Amino acid sequence: MLLKVGFVARSPRTHREGKNMKIDSRIIALFTEGGAKHYKIHIEMMKLFSMFGYLSSEELKYHFKGYKYVFLMNRLYNLYKYRIVDKFLSLSIPKYFYYITGLGRDVVEYFQISDFISNFYPAHYSLANSYHHRKMINVYSVFKRVLVDLMKGWTVEEMLKREETGAGAKVFDAEVFVSAVVKICKKLEDGSEYDSGQRKYRDVRMMIELETSLKTPRRYEKLANVLTDFHMHRKRLGREAAKYIFICKGETIKDRIRRHLVNRIISREAEIVFIDLDELIEKEGEAIVEDIRGERSKFKEIYIIKEYVEGML
C-alpha cells in the first residue's frame, strides 16, 4: 500500500507502553527472511531510527540511493502501520518527520538491530537543530556507502555524551571506527614529508564534527580549546583519534576553524582534515579532502592515515 500524504499523526507511544506490548507475528514477519521479501530494508530503516531518533523521507531517499521513492515509502508505511515508527509535524519541509516509538525500541532490542537506541521523543524536537541533525544522517550514509566493510562502527553524539565525562564532556558529532591503512612517514626539516612506502594496517578512531553555520571568532576560539581538551582527555585514556574530520558548510567556516586549530597540539598529534558538506553529499567518494596544510586527496581515501617516525626510516 502506498504511503499517503496527509494521514493523521497518532498519539506517540512511550517506551513504557512499548514494553507492555506484545510483538506479534505480523511485526516479526517484517524483519525475518521468511516473512517479508524486503525485510533487510525494514531492518536498515530501523537501524537509522535507532541511531538518530528521527528523520524524514528525504534522508531515507538519500540513504537508499538507487531505490524508487514509492518503494521506500511503502516500506516506511509498513513500519508506520504497526506503530513501530510514528510521525510529527516538522514545521519545515517535508511536512512530517518520522521517529521511533516505544514499540519500535522493543523491536530493535528483540531483533538486536542496534547496540544503541536513541532517547528522542517529539517533545525534544528543535527546529533550529533539525538541519544539522538531518545532514548528519546524510554524512553517515556517505561514510557507509563509500567505506562499506572498512567502516567497523559508528557512534552518534547522543551515545558519546553518555560515555564522556570530565574534560571530554563536550564531544564531537560522531565517532567512526575504520580499518585503516597507515602510511609510515617522516617530517623533513623544510616542513615537507617523506613517504617511506611502508604500510601497516589497524583499526582506528576518527572523530567527525559537522559545522553548518558561521560563528563568531570568539566561538571558534572556544571550540578550539574544547576540542584540544577532548583530544588530551582521550589521549590519557588511550582512546585518542587518528584523524579529526571537519565537514563544513562553505569555505568561510573551514578557514575560521583552520585558523584556530593550526598551531594547537591537536594538529601536531593527529591528522585534521576538512570537507565541504555540499560536495560530500553530491560527489561522495570523489569529494575533495583538504588537510590543515592544504594538501588534497579524495574522500574515498579517507581510510588512509599517516604515522610519523623520528630518525632514519
Handedness of CA 124, 126, 127, 131 (dihedral sign): negative
Sequence-distant (≥ 6) Cβ neighbours of residue 236 within 8 angstroms? none
Asked whether residue 24 is assigned to any structural domain, the reply reads yes
Residue 159 domain boundaries: 144-308
- pTM score of the predicted model: 0.86
Asked whether residue 7 is assigned to any structural domain, the reply reads no
Q: Where is the domain boundary, 125, 160, 190?
A: 125
Asked whether residue 59 is assigned to any structural domain, the reply reads yes
Is there a single domain that holds both residue 102 and residue 170?
no
Is there a single domain that holds both residue 50 and residue 161?
no
pLDDT at position 170 is 62
Is there a single domain that holds both residue 180 and residue 298?
yes
Asked whether residue 214 is assigned to any structural domain, the reply reads yes
Identify the burial level of 241 via C-beta atoms within 10 angstroms of its C-beta, where 0-12 means exposed, 13-18 middle and 19 or more buried: buried
Per-residue pLDDT of the chain (313 residues; tens, 9 = 90+): 333 333 233 344 444 444 545 688 999 999 998 888 899 999 999 999 999 999 999 999 999 999 999 999 999 999 999 999 999 999 999 999 999 999 999 999 999 999 999 999 999 999 999 999 999 999 999 999 999 999 999 999 988 887 765 444 567 899 999 999 988 887 777 767 777 778 889 999 999 999 999 988 888 888 888 888 888 888 888 888 889 999 999 999 999 999 888 888 787 778 899 999 999 999 999 999 999 888 899 999 999 987 777 654 4
Asked whether residue 131 is assigned to any structural domain, the reply reads no
Is there a single domain that holds both residue 19 and residue 80?
yes
Q: CA 35, CA 29: separation in Å to the nearest integer?
A: 4
Q: CA 214, CA 249: separation in Å to the nearest integer?
A: 8
Is there a single domain that holds both residue 157 and residue 293?
yes
pLDDT at position 282 is 97
Pairing relationship of beta strands 96-100 and 54-55 according to DSSP bridges: antiparallel
Write down the number of H helices and E strands in the chain.
Answer: 12, 11
CATH for 120: 1.10.10.10
Is there a single domain that holds both residue 231 and residue 189?
yes
pLDDT at position 191 is 64
Q: Write the pLDDT tens digit of every residue in 67-80.
A: 999 999 999 999 99
Q: Three-state SS for 128?
A: helix
* Domain count within the chain: 2
pLDDT at position 176 is 96
pLDDT at position 188 is 75
Please report where in the chains the cell 511485526 appears, as a residue.
27
